[in-house]
Structure 1
Amino acid sequence: MPEGDTVFLAGRRLHDALAGRELTRGELRHPRLVQHDLAGRSVLEVVSVGKHLFTRFDDGTSLHSHFRMDGSWHLYRPGRPWRGPDHQVRAILEVPDRVAVGFRLHDLDLLPTEREDTWVGHLGPDLLGDGWGSAAAAEVERRLRADPERELGAALLDQRVACGVGNLYKAEICFLLGVSPWTRVGDLTDRQVHDAVTWAHKLLARNAWRPEQSTTGDLGEGAQHWVFERGGRGCRRCRDVVRTAGQDDGGADREDRIAYFCPTCQPGPHPPPARRGGRRPQQQSGRRSRYG
Structure 2
Amino acid sequence: MPEGDTIYRSARALAKVLTGKHVTKFDTGYAHLATVNDDRPVAGRIIEKVEANGKWLLMHFSGDLILVTHMLMSGSWHIYKTGEKWWSPRKAMRALIEVDGWQAVAFNVPVAEFHTAASLARKSSVPRLGPDILSDSYTTDIGFHALQERAASHPEDEIANVLLNQRVIAGLGNVYKSEVAFAARVHPFRHMSTLSMDEMRQMADVSQRYMKANILDGSGDGIITYSGNRRTTHSANREERLWVYGRRGKECRRCGGIIEYRKQGPGARSTYWCPECQPWVGEGEAVKGRDTPIRRTRMSC
Per the shorter chain, which TM-score range?
Answer: 0.7 to 0.9
Partner of 2:87: 83
User: Contact between 1:9 and 1:209, CA under 8 Å: does it hold in 2?
Assistant: no
Q: Partners of 2:49 and 2:186 in 1: how far apart?
A: 40
Counterpart of 1:99 in structure 2 is 103
Instruction: Give the aligned partner of residue 234 of structure 2.
Output: 217
Larger relative CO (CA 8 A, sep 6+): 1 or 2?
A: 1
Alignment partner, residue 10 of structure 2: 10
Partner letter of residue 193 of structure 2? G
- Separation in structure 1 between the aligned mates of residue 111 and residue 72 of structure 2, nearest angstrom: 8
Instruction: For 1:121-160, list aligned pairs within 5 A.
Output: 121-133=127-139, 136-145=142-151, 146-160=153-167
User: Of the candidates 145, 168, 178, which is equivalent to residue 161 of structure 1?
Assistant: 168
Relative to structure 1, the CA distance from residue 30 to residue 132 in structure 2 (aligned partners, 3 Å threshold; closer, same or farther) is same
Give the Cα separation in 1 of the matches to 2:262 and 2:34. Answer: 42
Distance (whole Å) between structure 2 residues aligned to residue 267 and residue 136 of structure 1: 27
- Aligned-residue RMSD, C-alpha: 1.7
Aligned mate of 2:200, from 171, 193, 212 = 193
Q: Distance in 2 between matches of 1:133 and 1:225?
A: 24
Deviates more, 1:165-174 or 1:215-224: 215-224
SS in 2 for 1:204: helix
2:23 paired residue number: 23
Task: Report the more deviating stretch, 199-208 or 62-71.
Answer: 199-208
Q: What is the Cα deviation at residue 178 of structure 1?
A: 1.0
Give the percent of matched residue pairs that are identical in Structure 1 and Structure 2: 31
* 1:228 matches 2:245: yes
Counterpart code for 1:260: Y
Q: Greater shift after overlay, 171-180 or 204-213?
A: 204-213
How much does 1:185 deviate?
A: 1.2
* Residue of structure 1 in register with 2:213 after alignment: 206
**Unaligned ranges ≥5, structure 2:** 218-226, 282-297
When normalised by structure 2's length, the TM-score is 0.84
SS in 1 for 2:34: coil
Q: Tell me whether 1:177 sits opposite 2:177 in the alignment.
A: no
- Structure 1 partner of 2:71: 67
Q: Among 267, 271, 277, which residue is 1:265 paired with?
A: 277
Distance 1:134 1:68 in 2: 26
C-alpha separation in 1, matches of 2:261 and 2:276:
13
